[in-house]
Amino acid sequence: MQEDKEMTYNGRVFNGFVMLAVTLLIIPAVVVALIALASSGVFVSDDALIGTIVGCAFATLVLEIILLCGFFVLQPNQARVMIFFGKYRGTFRRTGYFWVNPFMTKKKISLRIRNMDIAPIKVNDKVGNPVMIGMVLVWKVKDTYRAVFDVDAADMPSVSVTSEGKISQTGANGDTVAKALDAFVGIQSDAALREVTGRYAYDEEGSHDEITLRSDGHEINEQLEAKLNERLAMAGIEVVEARLNYLAYAPEIAAVMLRRQQASAIIAAREKIVEGAVSMVKMALDQLDSENIVALDDERKAAMVSNLLVVLCADEPAQPVLNTGTLYQ
């Protein structure tokens, strides 16, 4: 488990509305000051007055622009990573309208839960059968320091996983943290899905005690979530849930495997039918013998067993045959 590097920003933060009022009052204050100076006769000529007005206007404009750079809004489940000339000063999480040092870089990062639908990819299972498998991933940022500084967002391409299992890059996304994290999560999810899938067979191969992709989805989801948390912890990301949402044989072997599954299902159904028929025949023989309804020798018992099994196990209704003679004819 990697230690969180995030710390709370403890620098000076001012109410945004108060600072906005102060910023807006600077302009009328400068105008009033210039009028007062002009009325007092300080300026010996009109050129000096005009030069002073132009200089004050330019200085006021520059000051206003600098002050406006300090305002920011923070919504619920958002954070600002504060960086002062390259030095990490902390993460600010309070919601509202604020003003800080205008020279402070304020990188916005979302702490909200996000969904990612990983398109089905082709992976070989434990026994080498190609399968198509996809998943839904729910994740969020836990450590803002790692999310911002440990994931390279410069010229990060847009990444998606195609149905053939290839990583598709669709060009640069810029340097936004959100897109860089999406790309990172997409690639790591693809790798984790391939790793976990390769450990297990799609379906049972002889042993009924082995974990399989088709029958043990809960265990597979738990292992997938653990593997993703291990891979994404380096980027300060926490996996809320990882769940398989698509599982099938690859198209090239799907028809063959479908026939195999159908044959296995038929065999299993036949086993149940035979097991039930044998128990019913045994019950009938035991009841006839215990209640002394009729005495049957071994040959007649064998004939009765044969007839009952045919009736109970046949796919179609049996045709009755009336015996008009004795039981031994």
Write down the pLDDT at residue 36: 79
* Rg of the chain taking only CA atoms, in angstroms: 39
* pLDDT exceeds 50 at position 167: no
Write down the pLDDT at residue 166: 47
| Claim: this prediction has a pTM higher than 0.85 | no
What tens digit of pLDDT does each residue of 177-217 get? Answer: 888 898 899 999 999 999 999 998 888 765 567 888 888 88
> Helix (H, G, I), strand (E, B), or coil: what is residue 209?
coil
Of 247, 253, 257, the C-alpha closest to 224 is 247
Q: How far apart are CA 248 and CA 258, in angstroms?
A: 10
Give me the mean pLDDT over the 300-306 stretch: 75
Write down the pLDDT at residue 83: 94
Of 177, 170, 168, 174, the C-alpha closest to 155 is 174
Assign domain 114-249 to its CATH superfamily.
Band 7 domain (3.30.479.30)
Write down the pLDDT at residue 163: 45
What tens digit of pLDDT does each residue of 143-152 get? Answer: 999 999 988 8
Residues 6+ apart with CB under 8 A from 214: 202, 203, 247
Q: Side-chain half-sphere of 137: how many Cα atoms within 13 Å?
A: 27
Report CA dihedral (18, 22, 28, 30) to the nearest 10 degrees. Answer: 170
Of 197, 185, 186, 189, the C-alpha closest to 250 is 197
Q: What is the DSSP letter of 235?
A: G
Q: What is the overall mean pLDDT for the chain?
A: 81
For residue 169, CA distances in Å to 48, 82, 116, 120, 156 come to: 62, 31, 17, 17, 9
What tens digit of pLDDT does each residue of 110-149 get? Answer: 999 999 998 899 998 888 888 999 999 999 999 999 999 9
